[in-house]
């Protein structure tokens, strides 16, 4: 019998391992799938607006037990890789018709943040509906929504809108309402070795009876991935390859078992 989240009877720490941004590159798609099939990832977030979304659809439908969320997106942050809205939403795009690269003002992208421009709430609603409906149409077992780069916090009206839409479409699993605590690396994380140590320290600090969420972005260090970057984040391929490697590392998997950590997903919260 599943023990309710937050129950005083719960013993093992419960941990959601969430992999974000599925769809932006083939390298990321492959790493995310392997992190689920061969590693410790329990939930994946897919981006319907991205170029590799058709491959995402095939991968997710071939793995119906994989917990899938829609990673709602209003930015196109990479320098060499861009995407546009699914709708005619000119208030959400730059002069070339792409999403702005940033949500909040950034000194490296002056004037190119969504919040610096005259965005319209009705266009955000139309775009988010389109992303949700496309994802649900293509991947029927989607369970929840999340936001790419945290844009749902940009304005209280936007926050309320997304909450309403997630309820309307029946994908409103919000970890915050289940007292799920966000955890991060406990230490440095620049290299794979540092990630391994800091991730292990995080696992060792999880407390019995509590539920946690860890988020990162696995990908492989391939020529394709090496071309993906933006100002201020140039080592994307190396950084994300390290995530993929520790999430599939036999020692990490053994440590999870040794610490009696219960790996769960978003659907488990609702169940």
The tens digit of pLDDT for each residue in 132-147 reads 999 999 999 999 999 9
pLDDT of 179 strictly over 50: yes
Instruction: Return d(Cα 192, Cα 244) in angstroms, integer.
Output: 10
**Residue 2: band (very low, low, confident or very high) from pLDDT cuts 50, 70, 90:** very low
pLDDT of 215 strictly over 50: yes
**Domain 14-270 falls under CATH 3.20.20.370:** yes
Instruction: Return d(Cα 201, Cα 143) in angstroms, integer.
Output: 30
pLDDT of 6 strictly over 80: no
Closest CA to 195 of 253, 142, 247: 247
pLDDT of 253 strictly over 80: yes
pLDDT digits (tens, 9 = 90+) for 15-44: 999 999 999 999 999 999 999 999 999 999
Closest CA to 70 of 199, 165, 189: 165
pTM, whole model, 2 decimals? Answer: 0.94
- The domains of the chain are located at 14-270
The H-or-E segment that residue 166 falls in is helix 156-168
Instruction: Return d(Cα 60, Cα 69) in angstroms, integer.
Output: 11
pLDDT digits (tens, 9 = 90+) for 60-96: 999 999 999 999 999 999 999 999 999 999 999 999 9
Closest CA to 247 of 182, 205, 185, 188: 185
Per-residue pLDDT, 10: 56
Instruction: Return d(Cα 61, Cα 63) in angstroms, integer.
Output: 5
């Amino acid at each position: 019998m599943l023990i309710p989240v937050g129950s005083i009877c719960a013993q093992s720490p419960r941990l959601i391992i969430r992999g974000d941004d599925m769809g932006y590159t083939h390298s990321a798609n492959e790493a995310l799938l392997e992190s689920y099939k061969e590693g410790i990832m329990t939930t994946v977030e897919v981006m319907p607006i991205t170029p590799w979304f058709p491959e995402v659809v095939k991968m997710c439908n071939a793995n119906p037990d994989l917990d899938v969320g829609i990673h709602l997106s209003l930015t196109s942050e990479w320098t060499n890789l861009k995407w546009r809205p699914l709708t005619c939403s000119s208030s959400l795009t730059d002069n070339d018709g792409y999403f702005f690269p940033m949500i909040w003002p950034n000194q490296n992208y002056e004037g190119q943040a969504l919040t610096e421009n005259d965005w319209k709430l009705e266009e955000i609603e139309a775009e988010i509906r389109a992303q949700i409906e496309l994802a649900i149409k293509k991947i029927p077992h989607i369970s929840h929504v999340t936001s790419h780069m945290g844009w749902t916090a940009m304005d209280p009206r936007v926050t309320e809108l997304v909450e309403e839409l997630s309820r309307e479409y029946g994908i409103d699993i919000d970890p915050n309402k289940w007292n799920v605590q966000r955890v991060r690396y406990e230490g440095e994380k620049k290299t794979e070795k540092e990630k391994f140590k800091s991730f292990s320290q995080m696992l060792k600090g999880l407390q019995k009876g509590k539920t946690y969420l860890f988020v990162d972005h696995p990908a492989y260090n391939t020529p394709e991935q090496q071309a993906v970057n933006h100002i201020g984040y140039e080592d994307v391929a190396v950084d994300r390859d390290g995530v993929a490697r520790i999430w599939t590392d036999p020692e990490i998997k053994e440590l999870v078992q040794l610490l009696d950590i219960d790996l769960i997903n978003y659907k488990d919260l609702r169940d």
